Structure 1
Amino acid sequence: MFDIKKIPFSRYGSFITISPNHQKDGDGALYIRNIRNGDNDFGAVFRIDLISEGKSLPYNSVLSPSILRLEAEEGFVEFCIGEARVLQIRSQGVGVRLTGITGAYDYAVPVEEKRWEVNHSLQEMRYMLTAVKGRIEMDAPFNEQRCEKIIADFLPESQLSEMECVLEEFTTVYQTRSYATFSEGHEIVKKEYESWYEHTLETPKEFTRGKELASYITWSCVVSPEGKLSRPAMYMSKNWMTNIWSWDHCFNAIALAKNSPELAWDQFMIFFDAQDESGMLPDFINNRFALWNFTKPPIHGWTLRRLWEQNEFVTVDKLQEVYQPLVKWTKWWLTFQDSDDDGIPQYNHGNDSGWDNSTIFHKGTPVESPDLSSFLVLQMEVLSEIACKLGKKDEATKWMQESQALLTRMIDHFWNGERFVAKRSGTHEVIESDSLVVYVPLILGNRLPAEILEKLVEGITHKGFLTEYGLATELPDSPYYREDGYWRGPIWAPTTMLLTDGLLESGEKELALEVARKFCSMASKSGMAENYNALTGEGLRDPAFTWTSSVFLILGQLLVAENEVMIEEQDSRQGL
């Protein structure tokens, strides 16, 4: 069971979501929402109330993956999203009141007995309300261009009888149909979720609670292809981060690769479907628009390698599909993000790095940061490998040479003998910063000289980045550290994943497993939050985030695999 105050109720493929509006409604009321159209609008369509004899009732919420149950002393109401566009409602002993959250031009009209259409122009969606068992009473007086209010009461015929009703989304013309019973719809969703859970990555038994939460969040946050969304898309959250961002999708793809490879490929490729001719990827996408003011770091080569390591689903055809888009994405950084032409690419805003307000940006931009060059070194190396597999030998050689050349420039440019630093582009002024971002070059592993790797590992472990709960994004003793400072202190899933991978690449297996275990323990206890207080492990910001869930599952699988290796080694020794 999950907490509806933190975890929205939805299902795979659906834009229908039920949750409280934390920002505007302090009474904890639940709303049926339409999470299309981005995160600038909460998307409230109807407020939910339980009623008896016309009066609202207090209730408690019980949330499980396939059903939301609201319990009052007088009875209960259950909600199930039987199909992506169909919300089924059942009650016993009480009625359900849906109060429209309306704007200009919203109206309701009767269609036939027990059926009303609500045209919710504010949310650009129509809803067909149908009483299957019981009756519907509408209060929707029309005045000039809209209904002054839209209130639908779904009521049982008697206190002892059961009520069933359906809310269905549509955009133009409603197709008259019948509906499965609530029980039938619930059984369908239950089986779908059970299948998803079975395909969720295995985690150690001590983190079972975390796995259950991560599994539900990732399943319920997938929306169907629609508008700008060319493929099924795992949103970051159905709380308020209702888009898919152009590095978040990579971590979700990796978590899906082993057991749901085609969905993983959809997550990976969805941004390349939207790629600009220049090679740039948008910052985020939703069904309605893509945002081009920012982008995110080029971790896609690193991601692609992690995908094909999972199993053999990344075929030659898929490599052919991704090769030119990945070439254009790489060239965009090298061509358009190097204003001083020094061969070191730059970030023009913190948002482009993913570390929005990191202290490497506190003196302004553009900023040359070693993490960006590291990502591109790996991405060009991956392009070389793809080109080789596609029979493009000359291109394979060229990309490998460019990768090695950038690696050399990067070390010469950023390494000060003790650590990597960030610099202002143009002046090459060193930016004094205690941000973890300058340790991301660990992902290069043994491509870096041994003495550099040694000092990077020492910096992470002895400087104070590694707390009881994981890797802080700013040193806790930094004057810029903030407990809830976004990228100025809190622990984040993507940085944890990148640096864990970097430690493994660097031969620091024991430390990598320690970081993984700390993160999984924290997330299992505190929930799949957007980020965490580095000194207490408390979840911060959005409490139901998919990339956190995915990284938890990936690192949990890593711990399981290591346990299996240890058991095999122990059995082997005993056998000897």
Structure 2
Amino acid sequence: MTVVPIGPAFAVQDIPFSHRGSWFGISPVIAENIVADDLHLVSHRNGMHAILRFIVLPGATVAATPALLSWHHDDGRIDLVFDDQDTIRVRGHRLGLDIVAAAGTLTPFSGTYLYQDPVDGSHVFTSYETGRRYRVTVLTGDLEAVDGQQTLGTTRRGLTLPPDGEWELAIEEFGTARRPYRSRATFDELHRRAQTTFTAFADAVAPWRSPATPAAELAAYVLWSATVDPAGFVTRPAVLMSKHWMDKVWSWDHCFNALALAAGEPDLARHQFQLPFDHQDDSGALPDSITHAEVLHNFVKPPIHGWAWQRLRHLGLPVTRQDLTQTYERLAAWTRFWLDFRRAPGHALPHYQHGNDSGWDNATTFDGDRVIESADLAAFLILQLRCLAELATELGDDAAPWTAIADEIRAAMLDQLWNGERFEARGVLSGARQPSTSLLDLMPIVLGDELPAPITAALARGIELHLTAYGPATEPVTSADYAADGYWRGPIWAPSTILIEDGLRRAGHSGLADEISERFRALCERSGFAENFDAETGAGLRDRAYTWTASSYLILAAAHERRRSLSG
């Protein structure tokens, strides 16, 4: 058995092994911050659920590349590839494998049932949690043992493949019924096909990649492997934020994935941008998050969508008049939500009801009042209003009302929230100013040259105080409120980095923008694509396979390569 893995190697503890379109992956991560000893088939239907456990001899090593996952022990090996988005093929050479239900107990309301299908002789695990079946069809070789078939209660339910000789099998995920599995290609052909499919995606989204951008191909894999087909409440092909436990689409995260995909995968990019708008409610609000089984409206996310749409257009996203009309209508409704339902009577400025609405859940800006008028929100809404004015002009509508509201909010932001050196949030009910040292208060730099030059200069000086060797910390490391793993109270995050870098560049502070881009790209090349990073050590924190981080690397690297090519 000769297999030549191709592509970047990665640790499945950090990044699940999966395939574009699939709702499951292979990973030892079976719940938030829980890493098992063995790899599992982990599904993201109806939540995150470990369905099957793969047990190999102790001491076996695991290796993964985009198209192939392998276990090695002495001269034995097991290889696993995806046949398609819901089927994997597994083959063994002188190494045994146990495939066991991850749930040890079967009750009327939970667990996984194992039975043999009398139609084709396959063995089927039926999961209560996902409502799906996982059929194991042996293609070559024989099972050595079957345990717990048709049994209830607490017991081992599983199949054993022998440690000697060679064997091969297929595992399919499906609903109620499916025709018996028939092999359409050899294992090696499937491996080559998966590699070709992934390489084509990487060539599309990162055609500029080179040894100077060593993380680009792995970043592309993170996006490709986290993409799922439409199912449940996910109305379009969607890039989940992760195929670990952060397996949702949040209503600002998706914008960064759209930007990374725009040049090479425009249709997928368009789907990413529009997905949350498919669940826009009657008030115009976008949901907080979307998963296979739920749409949550408990919070919202900041209105960065006008900024994102303008960036998508700048990147050359092809659009039809229907695209423009739909986007205009959806952005207008989303903007009116903030104007009609998030402005107190007599107030020009919109407000957040909670830190979660800002995306910066626990930032120190919210340590006093949590219902606040903040300059970052005003800045995002101004950009969105400017975007609506441009769309209105393009579509032959009246742009003046959007421009007038943008000017009103801008004037109020400068008059009411600027203290001469930085912006300060204000409690809506108390009227009290809320000084903080959070990077959030410097986010109005996203307005770029729309702000007066002295203000952008002051914001740039403030951002420099947050800058570590790895990028802009969300709380200065010298702050009494700094926490190394404090979520938005210290760690470096991708979205804030992207927004700041873009705003600085449009404000004319290209040197600082270049420095931030370079440091963040180096951080990803060193520490991968974690949800966030320790600002002092650069270590990846929380979910280690986060797509908006991978997208941010691709966005910054692509822009850097464009600037470098233009400079000669």
TM-score between both structures, scaled by the size of structure 2: 0.94
Which residues of structure 2 form unaligned runs of 5+? 1-8
The one-letter code of the counterpart of 2:13 is: K
* Cα offset, 1:312, TM superposition: 4.8
- Is contact 1:140–1:147 with CA below 8 Å preserved after alignment? no
* Cα offset, 1:154, TM superposition: 2.8
Helix, strand or coil for the counterpart of 1:21?
strand
* Cα offset, 1:74, TM superposition: 4.9
Q: Tell me whether 1:410 sits opposite 2:419 in the alignment.
A: no
Provide the rounded CA distance (Å) in 2 between the counterparts of 1:204 and 1:266.
Answer: 24
Instruction: Specify which of 278, 290, 294 is matched with residue 295 of structure 2.
Output: 290
- Is contact 1:523–1:552 with CA below 8 Å preserved after alignment? yes
Provide the rounded CA distance (Å) in 1 between the counterparts of 2:35 and 2:265.
Answer: 39
Q: Tell me whether 1:315 sits opposite 2:320 in the alignment.
A: yes
* Cα offset, 1:537, TM superposition: 1.6
Provide the rounded CA distance (Å) in 2 between the counterparts of 1:263 and 1:133.
Answer: 38
Deviations 1:6-43 (Å, cap 9, x if unpaired)? Answer: 111111110121111376766531111112223xxx41
Deviations 1:485-517 (Å, cap 9, x if unpaired)? Answer: 110111110000000000011011121111101
- Is contact 2:530–2:544 with CA below 8 Å preserved after alignment? yes
Provide the rounded CA distance (Å) in 2 between the counterparts of 1:141 and 1:544.
Answer: 36
Deviations 1:296-322 (Å, cap 9, x if unpaired)? Answer: 100000000001111150232211111
Provide the rounded CA distance (Å) in 1 between the counterparts of 2:281 and 2:82.
Answer: 36
Provide the rounded CA distance (Å) in 1 between the counterparts of 2:392 and 2:253.
Answer: 26
The one-letter code of the counterpart of 2:173 is: E
Q: 1:187 to 1:205 in 2, by over 3 A?
A: closer
Provide the rounded CA distance (Å) in 2 between the counterparts of 1:26 and 1:434.
Answer: 35
* Cα offset, 1:212, TM superposition: 2.2
Provide the rounded CA distance (Å) in 1 between the counterparts of 2:34 and 2:161.
Answer: 24
Aligned residues: 551
Say which is worse superposed, 531-540 or 18-27, in terms of deviation: 18-27
- Is contact 2:354–2:370 with CA below 8 Å preserved after alignment? yes
Q: 1:235 to 1:47 in 2, by over 3 A?
A: same
Helix, strand or coil for the counterpart of 1:255?
helix
- Look up the match of 2:49: 43
Trace 1:7-406 onto structure 2 (pairs within 5 A).
7-21=15-29, 28-38=37-47, 42-50=48-56, 56-102=57-103, 103-105=106-108, 106-112=112-118, 114-136=121-143, 137-143=145-151, 148-155=155-162, 159-160=164-165, 162-180=166-184, 181-202=186-207, 205-392=210-397, 394=398, 396-406=399-409
The one-letter code of the counterpart of 2:377 is: L
Trace 1:452-463 onto structure 2 (pairs within 5 A).
452-461=455-464
Deviations 1:550-571 (Å, cap 9, x if unpaired)? Answer: 011111112112211221xxxx
The one-letter code of the counterpart of 1:166 is: A
Deviations 1:345-375 (Å, cap 9, x if unpaired)? Answer: 1111111100010001111320111000100
- Look up the match of 1:515: 516
Helix, strand or coil for the counterpart of 1:165?
strand
Which residues of structure 1 form unaligned runs of 5+? 51-55, 568-576
* Cα offset, 1:101, TM superposition: 1.9
- Look up the match of 1:552: 553
Q: 1:139 to 1:248 in 2, by over 3 A?
A: same
- Is contact 1:5–1:28 with CA below 8 Å preserved after alignment? no
Provide the rounded CA distance (Å) in 2 between the counterparts of 1:28 and 1:59.
Answer: 11
Helix, strand or coil for the counterpart of 1:487?
coil
Helix, strand or coil for the counterpart of 2:463?
helix
